[in-house]
Amino acid sequence: MDDTYIKLNGELPKLKTPVLIVGLPGIGSVGKIVVEHLKKEFKAKKVATLYSNHFPHQVAMLKNGGIRLVNNRFYVLKSKSKKTSDIVLLTGDVQAMTSEGQYEVNRMIVDFFRNQLQGSFIYTLGGYNISGSVAQNPRVFGNATSLSTVNKFRSKGIVFGESKGTILGSAGLIIAFAKMNGMEGICLMGETTFIDVDHRAAKAVLELLAKELGLKIDTKNLDKMIEKTAQTLKELEQQIATSIPMPQPGLGNTGGDNRTTSYIR
């Protein structure tokens, strides 16, 4: 049995110029919130499940008393218009735990989308940490596979060239492998700070994406969560005044070497 494999949920549907939207666990849970929202709102249909021994050795306990081996799942959302693409969603419980595993799993995701689903464009979604206070209108940062894709999205409110450092995990590797295989793609990152589950950043990414894909979305449930988080933050502020530890600028994204700003250990 292979280390990493994709189990099909019956025969794969035939898709029209599909685009892939990837939202896995990561910074601010931004990507996962967006894809889970699309999945639920449009009742996307599960078509395949990816398992890997590079995922954590964990089994999720379900509310009904059942279990699920942690995995990544592909869903399909058929377009109702002739003009727009079918959409493939990828979300899941986890990401691979080692660098070797990340390369293997993400390469398989790109190969599957390209060879089995004949896809050609990929959106990966994530958060981008900015130090400081919570943004009321979070920006969406972008990094893309080519300058022509950068230029295509620049006019749509996405900020290019301000995000620095490196993108960790699936959000980065999937568009890197897409590029190496002659596909195009973009990583969209919602501006976030120290919030673990940032619905506000997710909403910013979702709205931008919906507009691009011609989807009409209802963000009522996100608004409720945003309100709830804001309330929690307010209470916390009152309780602990100024003692919340702030992460360093860009720390969450930077796995590399910000040498220009660091001279002393």
Which 66-105 residues touch its own copies, going by CB under 8 A?
66-70, 93-94, 96-104
Structure tokens at 24: 């896995």
Encoded amino acid at 197, one letter: V
Encoded amino acid at 259, one letter: R
Shortest distance (Å) from residue 55 CB to its own copies: 7
Cβ nearer to its own copies, comparing 79 with 139: 139
Residue 122 interacting with its own copies (CB under 8 A):
no
Cβ nearer to its own copies, comparing 187 with 222: 187
Cβ nearer to its own copies, comparing 79 with 113: 113
Shortest distance (Å) from residue 46 CB to its own copies: 16
Q: Please give the Cα distance from 42 to 152 (Å, whole number).
A: 27
Cβ nearer to its own copies, comparing 70 with 217: 70
Residue 147 interacting with its own copies (CB under 8 A):
yes
Residue 169 interacting with its own copies (CB under 8 A):
yes
CA atoms within 13 A on the CB side of 172: 17
For residue 249, give the DSSP letter: T
Q: CB within 8 A of 234, min separation 6: which ones?
A: none
> Site for its own copies (CB under 8 A): which residue of 9, 42, 84, 165?
165
Measured from the Cβ of residue 254, the count of other Cβ atoms closer than 10 Å reads 15
